[in-house]
Amino acid sequence: MSGAAAKEITIGVLGFQGDIEENVAAAKQALSELKVKGKVELVRYPEEMERIDGLILPGGESTVQSSLAAIQHSLPVLKKRISEGMPVLGTCAGMIMLSKKVFDRVVGETKQKTIGSLDIVVERNAFGRQNDSFESDLEIDSLGKGPFRGVFIRAPAVSEAGKDVQIIARHANRIVAVRQKNIIGTAFHPELAGDARMHRQLVKMILENATTAATTGKQR
């Protein structure tokens, strides 16, 4: 690592609801595999979000997470930090929270509050409900050789993606993973795959962002 990235990094996991502990474990695994000095903390309040170097928005119930984040006045802070370049990984419900617009195939457009930083339209429950959960091997070139096991639980899909959004994975001809600059969104649960490559990607983005900030004199 460069001198700029040699300091300990802090990865935050939004701690309101969902696959919190699984993401903590996957992030710690990624740090260990990359031999990067860092810690993983739960964050809920704006002041906590100001101190982290990267963020994971876990899978779970997106409406519950969005509502609790709104109550704690966290959504504007998250949007600000992401716009400043803070790397973020949103999985399943986390991707829904990041999106600009959300539809449900039963009720149509939802009015849930989102962060809105990721230029995508998301369809909730695109592959069915809880009983329709499944796993499938995905080819994700950015993660290197070998398939990545996608765990889909009441999974959404991306129905529209903006021009700056890179499509990084599909399943059944549906978009299930995207990247837009410092944001990664997945319809599946990488924290449940027993494979930390997606979380390692987040760590690498955090290190790159730290190096860029040091070079430009914009360290937090």
Q: How many angstroms separate the CA atoms of 131 and 148, rounded?
A: 22
Phi and psi of 115, rounded to 5°? -75, -40
Return the structure tokens found at 36. Answer: 């990067």
Q: Looking at 22, 92, 123, 199, which residue is catalytic?
A: 92
* Active-site residue flag, 189: yes
Closest-CA residue to 154 (of 59, 90, 45): 59
Phi-psi region of 81 (alpha: psi -120 to 50; beta: other; left: phi over 0): alpha
Of 90, 26, 82, the C-alpha closest to 74 is: 82
- 41 classed as catalytic: no
**3-state percent helix, strand, coil for the chain, nearest multiple of 5:** 35, 30, 35
Q: Which of 22, 48, 123, 189 is catalytic?
A: 189
Question: Which one of 22, 48, 123, 191 is the catalytic residue?
Answer: 191
Active site residues per annotation: 92, 189, 191
